[in-house]
Structure 1
Protein backbone atom coordinates (compact mmCIF):
# COMPACT_ATOMS: atom_id res chain seq x y z
CA UNK A 1 0.00 0.00 0.00
CA UNK A 2 1.25 3.43 -0.87
CA UNK A 3 1.26 6.23 1.71
CA UNK A 4 -1.35 8.17 -0.30
CA UNK A 5 -3.76 5.20 -0.18
CA UNK A 6 -3.22 4.79 3.55
CA UNK A 7 -3.88 8.49 4.12
CA UNK A 8 -7.07 8.31 2.06
CA UNK A 9 -8.32 5.29 4.05
CA UNK A 10 -7.38 6.79 7.41
CA UNK A 11 -8.99 10.11 6.49
CA UNK A 12 -12.18 8.29 5.52
CA UNK A 13 -12.25 6.56 8.90
CA UNK A 14 -11.40 9.76 10.80
CA UNK A 15 -15.06 10.74 11.01
CA UNK A 16 -17.35 9.18 13.64
CA UNK A 17 -20.23 8.12 11.36
CA UNK A 18 -17.94 6.63 8.72
CA UNK A 19 -16.01 4.73 11.38
CA UNK A 20 -19.32 3.40 12.77
CA UNK A 21 -20.45 2.40 9.27
CA UNK A 22 -17.22 0.55 8.56
CA UNK A 23 -17.25 -1.26 11.91
CA UNK A 24 -20.89 -2.26 11.39
CA UNK A 25 -20.12 -3.59 7.93
CA UNK A 26 -17.18 -5.59 9.29
CA UNK A 27 -19.55 -7.18 11.82
CA UNK A 28 -21.91 -8.16 9.00
CA UNK A 29 -19.36 -9.81 6.75
CA UNK A 30 -19.72 -11.60 4.41
CA UNK A 31 -23.35 -10.67 3.73
CA UNK A 32 -23.10 -6.89 4.08
CA UNK A 33 -26.03 -4.55 4.67
CA UNK A 34 -28.32 -2.53 2.41
CA UNK A 35 -27.75 1.22 2.48
CA UNK A 36 -31.18 1.86 3.97
CA UNK A 37 -30.55 -0.56 6.80
CA UNK A 38 -27.20 1.10 7.52
CA UNK A 39 -28.90 4.49 7.67
CA UNK A 40 -31.65 3.19 9.97
CA UNK A 41 -29.28 1.27 12.23
CA UNK A 42 -27.08 4.32 12.77
CA UNK A 43 -29.94 6.88 12.72
CA UNK A 44 -28.36 8.81 9.84
CA UNK A 45 -30.44 10.48 7.08
CA UNK A 46 -30.29 8.52 3.82
CA UNK A 47 -28.69 11.34 1.82
CA UNK A 48 -26.02 11.81 4.49
CA UNK A 49 -25.36 8.05 4.56
CA UNK A 50 -24.95 8.11 0.79
CA UNK A 51 -22.21 10.73 1.12
CA UNK A 52 -20.42 8.72 3.80
CA UNK A 53 -20.62 5.54 1.74
CA UNK A 54 -19.20 7.36 -1.30
CA UNK A 55 -16.18 8.48 0.73
CA UNK A 56 -15.62 4.97 2.10
CA UNK A 57 -15.96 3.54 -1.42
CA UNK A 58 -13.40 5.99 -2.86
CA UNK A 59 -11.02 4.90 -0.10
CA UNK A 60 -11.68 1.28 -1.16
CA UNK A 61 -12.86 0.41 2.35
CA UNK A 62 -16.32 -0.67 1.16
CA UNK A 63 -17.77 -2.13 -2.00
CA UNK A 64 -21.34 -2.36 -3.20
CA UNK A 65 -23.54 -4.68 -5.22
CA UNK A 66 -26.98 -3.84 -6.56
CA UNK A 67 -29.72 -6.31 -5.68
CA UNK A 68 -32.87 -5.16 -7.45
CA UNK A 69 -33.72 -1.74 -6.08
CA UNK A 70 -31.37 -1.92 -3.12
CA UNK A 71 -27.62 -1.56 -2.88
CA UNK A 72 -25.81 -3.85 -0.44
CA UNK A 73 -22.54 -2.59 1.00
CA UNK A 74 -19.73 -4.76 2.29
CA UNK A 75 -16.52 -4.02 4.13
CA UNK A 76 -13.44 -4.56 1.99
CA UNK A 77 -11.44 -6.77 4.34
CA UNK A 78 -8.54 -6.89 1.88
CA UNK A 79 -8.09 -3.13 2.20
CA UNK A 80 -8.38 -3.41 5.99
CA UNK A 81 -5.69 -6.09 6.01
CA UNK A 82 -3.45 -4.09 3.67
CA UNK A 83 -3.87 -0.93 5.75
CA UNK A 84 -3.15 -2.78 9.00
CA UNK A 85 -0.05 -4.40 7.54
CA UNK A 86 1.08 -1.03 6.16
CA UNK A 87 0.77 0.49 9.63
CA UNK A 88 2.61 -2.41 11.26
CA UNK A 89 5.18 -2.95 8.52
CA UNK A 90 8.01 -1.39 10.50
CA UNK A 91 6.64 -2.45 13.87
CA UNK A 92 9.22 -2.61 16.59
CA UNK A 93 12.20 -1.89 14.38
CA UNK A 94 12.71 -5.51 13.37
CA UNK A 95 12.36 -6.82 16.93
CA UNK A 96 9.23 -9.01 16.69
CA UNK A 97 9.26 -9.77 20.41
CA UNK A 98 8.27 -6.15 21.03
CA UNK A 99 5.06 -6.70 19.03
CA UNK A 100 4.03 -9.93 20.75
CA UNK A 101 1.43 -8.26 22.99
CA UNK A 102 -0.14 -6.57 19.96
CA UNK A 103 -0.38 -9.87 18.09
CA UNK A 104 -1.79 -11.64 21.16
CA UNK A 105 -4.40 -8.89 21.58
CA UNK A 106 -5.63 -9.43 18.01
CA UNK A 107 -5.91 -13.21 18.22
CA UNK A 108 -8.95 -13.43 20.55
CA UNK A 109 -11.14 -11.30 18.32
CA UNK A 110 -10.18 -13.29 15.27
CA UNK A 111 -10.55 -16.82 16.66
CA UNK A 112 -12.92 -19.12 14.80
CA UNK A 113 -16.46 -19.16 16.24
CA UNK A 114 -16.74 -21.46 19.20
CA UNK A 115 -13.05 -21.13 19.99
CA UNK A 116 -12.94 -17.56 21.27
CA UNK A 117 -10.47 -17.28 24.14
CA UNK A 118 -10.23 -13.86 25.71
CA UNK A 119 -7.38 -13.29 28.12
CA UNK A 120 -8.18 -11.39 31.30
CA UNK A 121 -5.93 -8.50 30.28
CA UNK A 122 -7.78 -8.11 26.96
CA UNK A 123 -11.18 -8.45 28.66
CA UNK A 124 -10.33 -5.64 31.08
CA UNK A 125 -9.54 -3.26 28.21
CA UNK A 126 -12.85 -3.89 26.45
Structure 2
Protein backbone atom coordinates (compact mmCIF):
# COMPACT_ATOMS: atom_id res chain seq x y z
CA UNK A 1 0.00 0.00 0.00
CA UNK A 2 0.77 3.66 0.06
CA UNK A 3 3.17 4.90 2.74
CA UNK A 4 1.33 6.68 5.52
CA UNK A 5 1.59 10.44 5.62
CA UNK A 6 1.75 12.18 9.00
CA UNK A 7 0.30 15.29 7.39
CA UNK A 8 -3.08 13.74 6.57
CA UNK A 9 -5.74 15.96 8.08
CA UNK A 10 -3.42 18.96 8.35
CA UNK A 11 -5.63 20.90 5.93
CA UNK A 12 -8.61 20.34 8.23
CA UNK A 13 -6.62 21.51 11.25
CA UNK A 14 -5.54 24.67 9.43
CA UNK A 15 -9.12 25.35 8.30
CA UNK A 16 -10.36 24.99 11.90
CA UNK A 17 -7.59 27.27 13.18
CA UNK A 18 -8.39 29.91 10.56
CA UNK A 19 -12.09 29.75 11.49
CA UNK A 20 -11.32 30.15 15.21
CA UNK A 21 -8.88 33.00 14.60
CA UNK A 22 -11.33 34.75 12.28
CA UNK A 23 -13.94 34.57 15.03
CA UNK A 24 -11.41 35.94 17.55
CA UNK A 25 -10.81 38.95 15.28
CA UNK A 26 -14.26 40.21 16.26
CA UNK A 27 -13.46 40.16 19.97
CA UNK A 28 -14.15 43.24 22.07
CA UNK A 29 -10.75 42.64 23.70
CA UNK A 30 -8.28 44.68 21.66
CA UNK A 31 -5.27 42.43 22.33
CA UNK A 32 -7.22 39.29 21.40
CA UNK A 33 -8.24 40.79 18.05
CA UNK A 34 -4.71 41.98 17.31
CA UNK A 35 -3.15 38.63 18.27
CA UNK A 36 -5.67 36.83 16.05
CA UNK A 37 -4.75 39.12 13.14
CA UNK A 38 -1.04 38.38 13.54
CA UNK A 39 -1.70 34.63 13.82
CA UNK A 40 -3.79 34.71 10.63
CA UNK A 41 -0.92 36.51 8.94
CA UNK A 42 1.39 33.64 9.81
CA UNK A 43 -1.10 31.12 8.43
CA UNK A 44 -1.58 33.20 5.26
CA UNK A 45 -3.64 32.08 2.30
CA UNK A 46 -6.97 33.03 0.82
CA UNK A 47 -9.08 32.02 3.84
CA UNK A 48 -6.94 34.14 6.16
CA UNK A 49 -7.25 37.14 3.83
CA UNK A 50 -11.02 36.63 3.71
CA UNK A 51 -11.28 36.75 7.51
CA UNK A 52 -8.88 39.68 7.82
CA UNK A 53 -10.82 41.61 5.18
CA UNK A 54 -13.95 41.47 7.33
CA UNK A 55 -11.97 42.80 10.30
CA UNK A 56 -11.16 45.97 8.33
CA UNK A 57 -14.58 47.14 9.60
CA UNK A 58 -13.72 46.49 13.28
CA UNK A 59 -14.86 49.31 15.58
CA UNK A 60 -11.31 49.74 16.94
CA UNK A 61 -8.96 51.77 14.75
CA UNK A 62 -6.01 49.97 16.40
CA UNK A 63 -7.37 46.60 15.25
CA UNK A 64 -8.05 47.94 11.74
CA UNK A 65 -4.48 49.24 11.57
CA UNK A 66 -3.06 45.88 12.71
CA UNK A 67 -5.17 44.10 10.09
CA UNK A 68 -3.92 46.40 7.31
CA UNK A 69 -0.30 45.69 8.32
CA UNK A 70 -0.92 41.94 8.22
CA UNK A 71 -2.65 42.15 4.83
CA UNK A 72 0.31 44.15 3.52
CA UNK A 73 2.67 41.39 4.62
CA UNK A 74 0.53 38.62 3.09
CA UNK A 75 0.14 40.49 -0.21
CA UNK A 76 -1.49 39.06 -3.31
CA UNK A 77 -4.50 40.16 -5.33
CA UNK A 78 -7.10 39.49 -2.60
CA UNK A 79 -5.17 41.52 -0.03
CA UNK A 80 -4.66 44.38 -2.52
CA UNK A 81 -8.40 44.43 -3.27
CA UNK A 82 -9.35 44.41 0.44
CA UNK A 83 -6.90 47.21 1.26
CA UNK A 84 -8.03 49.33 -1.70
CA UNK A 85 -11.66 49.03 -0.57
CA UNK A 86 -10.69 49.83 3.03
CA UNK A 87 -8.78 52.92 1.88
CA UNK A 88 -11.97 54.27 0.28
CA UNK A 89 -14.08 53.59 3.41
CA UNK A 90 -11.67 54.46 6.25
CA UNK A 91 -12.39 57.64 8.23
CA UNK A 92 -9.47 57.67 10.71
CA UNK A 93 -6.51 59.57 9.22
CA UNK A 94 -3.82 57.46 10.92
CA UNK A 95 -5.40 54.22 9.71
CA UNK A 96 -5.91 55.67 6.21
CA UNK A 97 -2.19 56.54 6.10
CA UNK A 98 -1.24 53.02 7.27
CA UNK A 99 -3.52 51.47 4.64
CA UNK A 100 -1.74 53.48 1.94
CA UNK A 101 1.66 52.14 3.03
CA UNK A 102 0.41 48.58 3.47
CA UNK A 103 -1.33 48.69 0.08
CA UNK A 104 1.99 49.56 -1.57
CA UNK A 105 3.65 46.63 0.24
CA UNK A 106 0.87 44.20 -0.76
CA UNK A 107 0.98 45.43 -4.36
CA UNK A 108 4.75 44.90 -4.57
CA UNK A 109 4.27 41.30 -3.42
CA UNK A 110 1.55 40.93 -6.05
CA UNK A 111 3.74 42.20 -8.89
CA UNK A 112 7.44 41.75 -8.03
CA UNK A 113 9.74 44.06 -9.95
CA UNK A 114 6.96 46.49 -10.84
CA UNK A 115 6.65 49.87 -9.20
CA UNK A 116 3.52 51.79 -8.47
CA UNK A 117 2.95 54.86 -10.61
CA UNK A 118 4.34 57.96 -8.95
CA UNK A 119 7.18 56.24 -7.09
TM-score by length of 2: 0.31
Of structures 1 and 2, the larger Rg is shown by 1
Which structure carries more helix by proportion? 2
More strand by share: 1
Structure with the bigger RCO (C-alpha within 8 Å, sep 6+) is 1
